[in-house]
Amino acid sequence: MDLRSRRFRTGLLLGTAFAAGIAAGPVTGLLARHGMLPFGIDAALAQDAGAASNNRAETYRLLTLFGDVFERVRAEYVTPVDDKDLIENAINGMLTGLDPHSSYMNAKAFRDMQVQTKGEFGGLGIEVTQENGYIKVVSPIDDTPAARAGVKAGDLITALDGKTVQGLSLNDAVDRMRGPPNSKITLTIKREGVDKPIDLSMNREVIKIQVIKSRMLSDNIGYVRLTQFTEQADSGLRKAVAALKQQAGGHLTALILDLRNDPGGLLDQAVAVAGDFIDQGEIVSTRARHTEDSQRWDAKGNDIIPGVPLIALINGGSASSSEIVAGALQDHRRAVLLGTRSFGKGSVQTVIPLPGNGAMRLTTARYYTPSGRSIQGLGITPDVPVAFSREEPLRFGAEREADLNHVLTNEGGTPQQALPPRTDLPPIAKQIPNKPPEGFPAFDPAKPDATDFQLQQAIVLAKAMAEQKRASAN
């Protein structure tokens, strides 16, 4: 039985016990009355049946303490509190205290997560951020309600259906813009250079998250950006590469795979994407608490661009599934990694459905690259280090996994130095500067070829790798 199905069934069994009211146990009447223990004291302690009696007594004491705190908060907190909120907060505290990636999701949060991983939802088709209390449009997605209605990058959304967005969090504003397909919504826009507010009405549609962006660069070098690992990642990548190959007349000289700022996503999609460039051998393995739950995934012999030089761009925002792909490509010497050290999230989370339509995200395994490296807290070091800008950007909050609280330890893997240095790089790789020169322009998303220094160096390296391949073939 695989890890996912075993955990899922466990969740269902525990939920059944709770629904049936099996919550006995000599702790306090309070716990039994309020259903504080979803699977019962006896079930919780059954795992420790062979433990010493003093351990059992200590567990009972702590559970009683929890019940006492719960009762005191209900009775004496400055305003009345909802039992459901208290219990959900307690569950979330229990999980978030384990590591940065375990957490509780109520029914709404669980639905939002499913929408995110599925990659489509009812909405307007705009990427947004928050600025000075308003919602700022980063860019409208082509052929969506927002684009057709005339929403432009840089617009400030000041109201939704006549109600101001000030005071709303970004997530709340996004929730209000999403909704059932064919439902109407009016956005009030403040646009630079226009004195009066602009009202734009549109109907929501099913929006598919654009996880793949691709284009052809000079000398038939293909470029594919993967923004996150949703259910469409692998199929979208294959379509993009096929289109680039056709555009190059079947003679794609090199491919640049951009994984920068890709936070990850689904493990199976990471395995599939890595397998698109690796013929054979291991892609990733996971090691869980129980040996029988450990797994290994191998390539299926389907390199979609066999022999074509491949460069993968990574940075501190490349995490989780991105690092699985980058690690596999690096270990197999299938791609040259260029950029900066990745985030360092080397753990696997299993989503376990719970009663009431919520779920918990629980860290259940560590993953390891084909050479046996654990990147947990360390990240992946690029083969060719190149900074995005000359000056280190100001950071607010955690920059990498190692900066987080309760971070999982790195253990069980081979030393990072076990991977031998590369000897297959063209000579120019040693001449590539590790940061932009003085006076290099600030990045402009409208002019990436002229202002993206890492991409520029990837193109230089790609041309050299293509030339090296042609020379060796003659």
Nearest to 441 by CA among 456, 459, 428: 456
Instruction: Look up residue 463 and give its amino acid.
Output: K
Say how far apart CA 24 and CA 384 lie, in whole Å: 60
Strand order in the sheet with 310-314: 212-216, 221-226, 254-258, 310-314, 336-339, 384-385
Say how far apart CA 290 and CA 245 lie, in whole Å: 45
Instruction: Look up residue 400 and give its amino acid.
Output: R
Per-residue tokens: 405: 């609280």
Strands 212-216 and 205-208, how do they pair?
Answer: unpaired
Strands 221-226 and 212-216, how do they pair?
Answer: antiparallel
Q: 92 near 137, Cβ under 8 Å?
A: no
**329 backbone dihedrals φ, ψ, rounded to 5°:** -65, -35
**76 backbone dihedrals φ, ψ, rounded to 5°:** -125, -5
Instruction: Look up residue 187 and give its amino acid.
Output: L
Say how far apart CA 247 and CA 204 lie, in whole Å: 34
Nearest to 295 by CA among 225, 246, 368: 368
Task: Name the residues annotated as catalytic.
Answer: 320, 331, 345
How many angstroms separate the first and last alpha carbons of the chain?
51
Q: 415 near 440, Cβ under 8 Å?
A: no
Q: 255 near 469, Cβ under 8 Å?
A: no
Nearest to 398 by CA among 314, 313, 319: 319
215 three-state secondary structure? strand
> Can you say how many angstroms the Cα of residue 315 is from the centroid of all Cα atoms in its chain?
14
SS (H, E, C) 146-183: HHHHCCCCCCEEEEECCEECCCCCHHHHHHHHCCCCCC
**434 backbone dihedrals φ, ψ, rounded to 5°:** -85, 0
Q: 344 — alpha (psi -120 to 50), left (phi > 0) or beta?
A: left
